[in-house]
Every structure is written in C-alpha cells, then in structure tokens.
Structure 1
Amino acid sequence: MMSNNSESTWWKEAVIYQIYPRSFKDSNGDGIGDLQGIISKLDYIKSLGVDAVWLNPIFTSPNDDNGYDISDYRSIMTDFGTMSDFDELLKQMHQKELKLILDLVPNHSSDEHFWFQESRKSRDNPYRDYYHWWPAENGKPNERFSFFDVNRDAWRYDEKTDAYYLHYFSIKQPDLNWENPKLRQEMYDVLSFWFDKGVDGFRMDVVPFISKDVSFPPIPARFNGSFGDYYANGPFLHDYLKEMNREVLSKYNGVSIAEGVGVNTEDVHLFVNPDRKELDMLYHFDGMGIGFTPDGFKEPHPDGYSLLEFKQVYTKWDKAFEKGWGTIYLGNHDQPRMLTRWGNDAPEFRDLSAKMLHTFLLTMRATPFIFHGDEIGMANIKFDDITDYRDIESINMHHYLSSNGGDLQRFMSAQKITARDNGRTPFQWDDSQNAGFTDGEPWLKVNPNHKEVNVKYQENDKDSILSYFKSLIALRKNNKTLIYGEYQLLDATNKSVYAYSRNDENGTFLVLLNFTSVDAKFDTDYDLNNSELILSNYLYMDMGAILKPYQACIYKF
C-alpha cells in the first residue's frame, strides 16, 4: 500500500452524506425542500454518524437543470432560502462537528448569468471570451454532442451576433471558456468567497470538461462516439487544476472532489496524486455503466448486471487509487436508487439487500458517499407517464425519441429502473401524507411505499436498515483497517458472491456479500471457525460455506 494512502486526513476517514436540497425537507409548505428544512433535521443527520454533508447546488438558478445552471455563484436560490439561512446552517453544522461541502459547477453557467447576458450582446463585449463562440461566417463548427439538447447538437446558433455558442449540456447551460485567464480568476474568486465563509470543500461537477481545444477539430475516431471520454481530455486541464490548487485550494483546509466523468484508471492519478497538487479525490462512472444494453438509452440488460464485471471494476479502481485516494458510491442525484439498481426492492428482500449494499460501501478502501434516503432503503418510484418526470434528461430524450420514431414503450420501461428522478423523490420521514416532507404539493411525487419505508418506523427498530447503517459506520470508525487497510479480492470467479479482505498490521477483516436472491456458495482459504463474526444482516449464521439470499457478513481474524 502506498504511503500517501495511509497518511491520515479527515476526508479519507469521513462518511459523506449527500443531500439533494429540493427533496430533503420543506419548511414553508411550498413543496420544495430548503435550507431551513435541512437545519431542522441536523440532529437526525448527526445521529447517523456521518462526518460531512455534500449539498447539491443551492445557488441562484432558473432551474433548467435543477440548479446545475447557475446564474449567480454568490447568492442563494430563493426556493432554498437566503444567505442568512445558509450562514445559520453552516454555523449549526460546525457546532455539531459536521462539515459542509458545496457543489461547484465550473464547466458551464446559466444563459441567464450576467456574464453570458453580456457575452451575447456583441462580439467585442468585454465578457465575450467568457464563453466559447464560433462566428457563423466560418461555417458550422465540427460536431460536438450535447447530453441534454433535444437535437443532441452542442452548438446553438445565436442571431444577435451571428455566431454559435457551445453547450455540452442544455441550451441554457453555455460552456465557460477556461482558456480565458479572466474567467479562471472569476471562478477562483467564487471558491475563495465560499471558503472564506467557512465551507469545508467542494464537489466539482464535470470538472474534467473545463479545458477545450478551441480550434474544435473533428473528434478522433478512436473515441467511437464516447463523447464524455473525449471531452475529458482537454489540452490544458491539468494546468488549470494546478493553478486552481495554487491560487485557492492550497490556502484552505478543505477537500476537493472531482466528478470524474470520462476519466479512466490510467489517468486518474493525474488528478489525485498528492505530489501533483491538483485535487484530493475523484469518483468514477465505470460502476454506473455496468449492465446496460448496447443500443438502448440507459436501458438495463434483461438478464441484469454481471457481478463478475462489478467486482472487476471496483477492484481495478482500488488499484488505480494507490497514488491518491478514491471514493465509493452506488447512488446519487444523477442515478436511480441503489436498492432498485443494484439490490432488490421487492418487500421480501428490501431490507436484506439494502443492508448488503451498505456493507459494501462502508467496508471498501475509499471515502463512502451515501445518498440521502438510502440509509432507510428508499427505492425507485417507477413512473408510468412522462408527465410525472421533472428531469430534463428524461423529458428531452422522450421528446427526441418521439420526434425520431423511437420506441417510447421501451424507453419508459427502462426509465423505471434508470431515470434520475427515481433518486430525487422526496425524503420519506414518516407515514403521513407526503411522507412528512411538506405540508404543500411536493415538486415531485412521493413514493407510495413511504407508508412502509420511512425514518419514523426505523429509528427505534434495532433490526432496521437505518440501525444497521449506523452500526456499520461505527464499525468503520472504530477499525481503521476498514479505512486504510489493503483490499484483496477473493473467490474472483464467483458469479454470486463478492468476497474480499481488508488487512493491515492491526488485523484482517473478511467481507462476504451474496448479491443474489438465492443461497450461494463461496470459497476462501480463511477458516471461519477461527474468526469472530462482527456484523451480519441476518440474526443468525451457519458457519458453513453457504450465504443466504443477500446475506452480508464481516468476520475479524
């Protein structure tokens, strides 16, 4: 194990709890979660045993992409409250020894941002070069793919100055021009503004995309339509990240986390190797891409996902982070609920598989990110009608398929499993109307299963998913081997069981996870009779080489 992996820092040892503010807790009855709602639930958050909270964007935004289209990086969206509310939230969190991580969106702003409003006025406007413009008299620029545009075209023609502007995402999310040093300084000033307020770090949205080849040549054939991989290979990316570190990050005791879309295992050390002085952590997307059909839009394979591939991916990435530090997650605001995607949300297996997945997250060598609601086993809502969706990705893809003769029934079926709104339904606090989330009309429908799945029912149940989750966090914190210890994959060819060890000079832990709904055998050289069963999601355990459905066991040697 590399020495920089064992060097103690707060963010390596932390469990980070992600809150999607719009869906967490509404304090004023408008159907939208807000900062005062989060403040009212800080004791609950503290009770989980987590160390830090990552908030999705809370900045002023017209909400074309639910806050990832920012129109003012220094003010709070009115839906969420005021700057005074934010200051109170930060103060109370620090009093409770909770750290706060904000979401930086450095690749693009809203088209309603002052910079862009000025930029589109004229070709000689001082803000023109804050964005990527292409004069129409030079012809249509080479193809760039837009993830959210209904036409999939990342170049938008603007009549005012007879030019195209670049938007990798929505037409209302123009890409910022990091090749302009003035723009870079603006973004560094934004970071300093929030650090000076006392925030403890930033998760940086699609930060590998910030550097572009401004000649916009044709995309090389070797990328074969993998636009994200191409976008993440800008010529000056690491120069900008080093500059960001030098100008801002190195001056504060905060954490910097890259959303590593397009980053592979061969290149990840360029971001997180501490000797390079760029960023602290990165999370990858390889795991999230497992189990899709090759021709559908985020369509799960009818046979499910391969556990062999799952194990290979996470083992490969553990190795990649030997020069630096990684993260581990199975769900977030851009993903469906982890229980539905990776476990089994049928009532008979819900608790067992949720506990099994948490066992994986909290025993790997990486900083775990837990998406709010997963600690109680929230599941996909599985909408039948496109009008129930609020996410621009689902809505625009439905429109695109409808306009191009696509199979809408196939698309809607896949969305029940993979749509992002499945992870964004309101938090389930209790069994009352709207699950205790709001007294008004919720911005997104509440999952009907809140009658059975909620915090109220689980808080005082020692056998609940929530209680098990808290026990896992306590186990991790009390055993640094589960944080810094070496990871070794065992029984690698087992198609049903994920087995691995964590060990260092303080001892060895064996983790056994059955990812299936039937009994599964496993093979290991460890003698379980000479071990202590530390934790299991079953109340009893036969000491043979059989795991019950979705069983999770942690042994100590």
Structure 2
Amino acid sequence: MSTWWKEAVGYQIYPRSFKDSTNDGIGDINGIREKLGYLKDLGIDFIWITPIYASPNFDNGYDISDYCAISSDFGTMENFQALVKEAKQANIKIIMDLVINHTSNQHEWFEKSRNKTVGYEDFYIWHEPVDGKEPNDWQSIFGGSVWTYDDVRQAYYFHTFAKEQPDLNWDSSAMKKKVFDMIEWWADQGIDGFRIDAISHIKKASWDTPNHDAQRPFKAFQNVAGIGDYLTELKTIFQKHDLLTVGEASGVTAEEAEIWVGQDGYFNMIFEFEHTGLWRKTSDELPFKQFKEALVRWQEACANGKGWNALYMENHDIPRSVSVYGDDSPEYRTISGKALAMAFMLLQGTPFIYQGQEIGMTNTAFHEINEINATDTLYMYNELLTSGYSETQAMEMISAVTRDNARTPMQWDGSEYAGFSEVTPWLKVNQNKGAINVKLEQENPHSLFHFYKYLIDLRKTHPVFINGEFRYIETEAEPIFYYERANEQETYAVVVNLSKEAQTFVSLDELSDNQLIVSNYLDYDFAKLRPFEARLYKLA
C-alpha cells in the first residue's frame, strides 16, 4: 500500500467559511477551486474538506441526509468533479469527511427505519420505553439525554450528539452493506481518502453501564471494547481502494496507538485529543508540562515504526490556537503563531493546517447570541441562563470557547467582508480583518504565512523530519519544549518557549555553539529565550 501521506502536509477546509464564489454569503466548491493556486503556493499536498453532502445543516453538514449528493449550498456534483480534476493537475489530493456514526433524522434510511420498512428496521438504535421511561440516564455530547422518543415508531432512538443526528446501528449487516457501497462509490469519484468523523463512538456498551466518570466522560459510547470488529471490516474496504484514512478518535490513548495506527492498525493515522483537550481544563494558563507530555507520549507511542499520527493545533471544532496556546495581542500574535508552528510541524507525523491558521487568525468577540451558530454553544448558553447567569455573563463565558471562533470567514484581504464574499456572510467576519489577512501576509516576507512555507519546505527537503528519530530533552524550565530529530546524516534541535515569560536553562549555552537555522525573532540574544521564542539548530 502507498505511504505518500507520510511525506505530505494536509490542509483542512471548512467550505462554508473558505471562499464564496456566488456571493450568497456561503463558501462553496468553486471558491475552493479559485484558491487551489494559493494552496499550491503554501506547499499543501492534500486537502481535507469537511462535509459538503446534502444536509438540513442542523450541525453544519455533520447531519447528512444523502451521502451521494452535494448540498446545493456548496454547488453541484459537476463542480466537485471539476475540483477533483483541477486539484490533481496541481498535484493536490482530496480527502472527504466520512460521517458514519450517525446521519440526519431527515435521511431516507431513518424515515424507513422509524416506519419499520422491511430491511431497514434495525438501521438505527431503537429501544422500547422501560416503565414508560428512557432505557437509561446517559447524557449526549451536545447535552441532554442520548434518547429521543419517536411518535411514529413509538420507541426511543439513540444519538451521541444532537437529537437531529440519530446513530447508525453497526450491528446491522444491511446497514453496513449500504455504508460500504457508499464508500466504494466515493472512491470511484477519484478521491484519495477520508477523514472519518466520530469513529470511536460507533460501538455502544450495554445499557446498564454507568456513562460518566472524571477520567472518561461518555465512556459508554466512546472507544468501547469490541469496536475493533467494526473497524477491521471498514479497513478492508479502505485498503481495497488504497485510500488514506484519518480517524477522529476521541477516547483513544497513546497506549492504544499501535492498535489504531500501527502496521496492522485500523487507520493510517488518527486525530487524538490529549493535547488539544487541555485548554478546557485550565482557566488562565496552559499547563505546559501536561501539554508537552501529551505530545511526547504520542511521539514515543508511534516511534520505531510502531505507528503514525496526525499532527494538528487547530480544526473546525476548537478555538484558534494563537488565542488559546499563544498570545493574540498585536505584539505577540505572529511570534507566538510561529512558535506553535515550529513546535508541531517538525514532529514525526503528518501535519494538518486549518484554514486561517497559516495567517494567524484569532478568536472573535461575540457579543449577542444571534451571532452564534454552533449547536452545542447555543445549548450551553441556555443552560447558563437556566443556572442563573445574566445574558451578558453567559455571552462572556461562551465567546472564548465556542466552535464558531474557528468558523468565521477566511480573511483574504481587508475589505468589508474580508474578500470572502461581497455580501454579508453566514457568520460574522472577525473585526481584525484589516490587520490579519492573506494579502498582508503574502506581502510581508517575515509573516507567519512565509514561516509556514519555510517549515513545509524544510520537511520536504530533509528526510530527518519525516523518518528521523524523535528525542525529547527535559529541561528545568517547564515552558520550554525541547526535542531533537536525528538520522544518520543529520541532527536538529527544536527549542520553543511556549510562554510569555523569558526563559533560561542550562543547555541553552551548549546549543549556541551549533548552527542556528531559523528563529522567529529577527535578532538574537543567546543567553535566554524571549517570550514565545522558537529556534531550530543544526547540531554539529
């Protein structure tokens, strides 16, 4: 099987917010086509496109009503086929988002299942009322019960997420055949792989299992024992077409890495949640020690050919990394953005850049609830009001954590709608578009955009960053992330200050005798690492 993805750099596109070609306020497929040259210039090898299938859009496309149709919001199947063709001409591969834990409740399969149409009765997870009540007290990831009563079938159906997203029943052989046929259909459209959404949720524990504990929230339907049987079947279909597979695998630990992404693993790589999950657990400062430990744990779990992993700091579900892990003030936004880029881009694995990350897009200030779109944030807001918080307090609490921070329109230039559209977009444009946009970044040779280009080129011209050994170097300075990449030809040291405070440590003097390849500061003070300073040394 091909392993082209080990040397590749991916780019995640959230189409609704990337580029609007029709001026209806919604990004679309032809908008992506317009920007293939931009992605090629950045050095991207493949793009992951979040769902563009037919959908009522209760959860922005992650509630699919027809797997084999394109949503009219985004264009047509002809537009998509043109995108595939033009991307291939630019040597850019395309991977789609595969959502097979659940569908929309408007999917034809669900309609047939609730009506007990022959052959579809068990496509979803149904349960009769128990003493007139729900089968158990499990809570869904979006809040509220996992069970919703359906008047037509007169039974409860299960949903890991919103009630509009009923879970498919992976114990149904008829349902699986339909899913496998659909995967093969997409492979025939010329795509190169899939990012597989919420895949660690497809197996459920017995209904009497306690669902929640401090270590494993949602443990009754997250990476449950026995899930491997389903994933092995899926893998057979993927391998048949030599498709790249990236599993979204919440609840999977580094100790399980080899099972999931090893030589005989279920997927080529996964998105794990250990390092990005930390920002929710701290009120003020990033816990540097735990952040480094999480990254190192996965590097070591996949070392020596035991596995491969997806490297990322942002996606459509989490706030902007420069606002969470860095400092989005004018003084440090670019500096901290470069520090984060160096910290993750030179690890072993396949890096994914989320749209706008390469120009340092930041969180947005949301002031009114009608500016919010994310389903889970709306639920959180109402819960806060019910708990006694004022509207102002509730808005302050949700603004920093809402997924909408990652979904504001891409900032192409400083015009009224940031070059994304000529009309009011579906979600507000960040007010800092005049200071942060692609046009300015491309014009400035010292910008974050050009730093990402440099790091991408470094990976492609130095095999040590692909297959070289990873060595973590501990220092007495907790905010310092210090590691080496080494092969028989060369050794590099990556030293990053993850904090806003200057740092010194014993080994810094020794490093100064080596060749400094690049830094995110334009001048040098070898005695200390300044706020968010990052350096790459070639060791003698």
Fold-level match, TM-score > 0.5? yes
Relative distance call for 1:104 and 1:269 in structure 2 (3 A) is same
Of 137-146 and 189-198, the range deviating more from structure 2: 137-146
CA–CA distance in structure 1, aligned partners of residues 299 and 465 of structure 2: 13
- Following the alignment from structure 2 to structure 1, what is the Cα–Cα distance between the partners of residues 47 and 384? 37
C-alpha distance in structure 2 between counterparts of 1:313 and 1:412, whole Å: 31
Q: Structure 1 residue aligned with 2:302, among 315, 318, 321?
A: 321
Residues 1:282 and 2:282 are matched in the alignment: no
Q: 1:475 to 1:233 in 2, by over 3 A?
A: closer
Alignment partner of 2:332: what SS? helix
Q: Which of the residues 50, 74, 96 maps onto 2:90? A: 96
Change (3 A) 1:492 1:283: farther
The residue matched to 1:435 in structure 2 has which SS?
Answer: coil
Does residue 1:64 correspond to 2:46, yes or no?
no
1:520 counterpart = 2:503: yes
Name the counterpart of 1:254: 243
Which of 27, 31, 45 does residue 21 from structure 2 map onto? Answer: 27
Q: Deviations over 1:334-359 (max 9, x none)?
A: 00011101100000111101111111
User: What amino acid does structure 1 have at the position aligned with 2:129?
Assistant: A
1:44-59 correspondence to structure 2 within 5 Å: 44-59=38-53
Aligned to 2:260: 271
Name the counterpart of 1:168: 160
1:236 to partner: Cα distance: 3.1
Map of 2:129 onto structure 1: 136
Work out whether residues 209 and 220 of structure 2, in 8 Å CA contact, stay in contact via their aligned partners in 1: no
Match of 1:452 in 2: 435
The TM-score with structure 2 as length reference comes to 0.95
Listed as ranges, the gaps of 5+ residues in structure 2 are none
**Larger deviation: 393-402 or 48-57?**
393-402
SS of 2:30's equivalent in the other structure is: helix
- Aligned: 1:116 with 2:116: no
2:515 corresponds to 1:532: yes
**1:227 alignment partner, SS class:** coil
AA aligned opposite 1:262: G
For the residue of structure 1 that corresponds to 2:191, the secondary structure is coil
Q: CA deviation at 1:78?
A: 0.6
Provide, for residues 160-187 of structure 1, a one-character-per-residue CA deviation record: whole Å limited to 9, x for no partner: 2210000110110000001101111111
Q: CA deviation at 1:229?
A: 3.5
Q: 8 Å contact 2:517–2:536 — kept in the other structure?
A: yes
Provide the residue aligned with 2:208 in structure 1: 217
1:389-538 aligned at under 5 Å gives the runs 389-405=372-388, 411-524=394-507, 527-538=510-521
The structure 1 segments of at least 4 consecutive aligned residues displaced by more than 4 Å after TM superposition are 406-411
Aligned residue for 1:311? 292
How far 1:527 moved relative to its partner?
A: 3.0
Q: Measure how far apart 1:522 and its partner are.
A: 2.6
Amino acid in the other structure paired with 1:279 = F
- The one of 495, 507, 529 aligned to 1:547: 529
Q: Indicate conservation of the 8 Å contact 1:61/1:69, yes or no.
A: yes
Cα distance per residue 1:438-465 (max 9 Å; x no partner): 0111000000101011111111211111
2:294 maps to amino acid: V
Q: Distance in 1 between matches of 2:534 and 2:258?
A: 32
Task: Find the counterpart in structure 2 of residue 16 from structure 1.
Answer: 10
Letter in structure 2 aligned against 1:143? D
RMSD between aligned residues: 1.8
Give the SS at the match of 1:292: helix
- Aligned pair partner of 1:356 in 305, 315, 339: 339
Looking at structure 1, the residues matched to 296 and 114 of structure 2 have their Cα atoms a distance apart, in angstroms, of: 47
Output the CA distance in 1 between the equivalents of 2:223 and 2:441: 46
Letter in 2 for 1:257: V
- How many residue pairs are counted as aligned between the two chains? 536
Q: Which residue of 2 aligns with 1:239?
A: 229
8 A Cα contact 1:111 1:117, kept in partner: yes
CA displacement at 1:373 relative to structure 2:
0.2
> How many angstroms apart in 2 are the aligned matches of 1:521 and 1:380?
30
Asked if structure 2 preserves the Cα contact closer than 8 Å seen for 1:308 and 1:493, the reply is no
1:409–1:268 CA distance, 2 compared to 1 (3 A): farther
Residue 102 of structure 1: SS of its match in structure 2?
strand
Cα separation, partners in 2 of 1:475 and 1:403, compared to 1, 3 Å: same
Question: How far off is 1:529 after superposition?
Answer: 4.1
Cα 1:525–1:255, aligned 2, differ >3 Å: closer, same or farther? same
2: CA distance, partners of 1:136 / 1:379: 47
- Counterpart of 2:161, as a letter, is F
Matched to 1:338, the amino acid is S
Where does residue 203 of structure 1 map in the other structure?
A: 195
User: Residue 308 of structure 1 aligns to which amino acid in structure 2?
Assistant: K
- Partner AA of 1:312 in structure 2: E
Aligned AA (1:185): K
Q: CA deviation at 1:468?
A: 1.1
8 and 554 in structure 1: CA distance in 2 versus 1, 3 angstrom threshold: farther
SS of equivalent residue, structure 1 residue 290: helix
CA distance change for structure 1 residues 61 and 348 in 2, over 3 Å: closer, same or farther?
same
Conservation of the 8 A alpha-carbon contact between 1:108 and 1:173: yes
CA–CA separation in structure 1 for the residues paired with 2:454 and 2:408? 26
Deviations 1:294-335 (A, max 9, x none): xxxxxx413x11111111111111122232111111110000
Q: Is the 8 A contact 2:358 2:452 kept in 1?
A: yes
- Residue 325 of structure 1 aligns to a residue whose secondary structure is coil
Identity of aligned residues (%): 39
Residues 61, 70 of structure 1: 8 Å contact kept: yes
Unmatched segments (≥5 aa) in structure 1: 1-6, 294-299
What is the CA distance between 1:408 and its match in structure 2? 5.7
Change (3 A) 1:218 1:518: closer
Counterpart amino acid of residue 165 in structure 1: Y
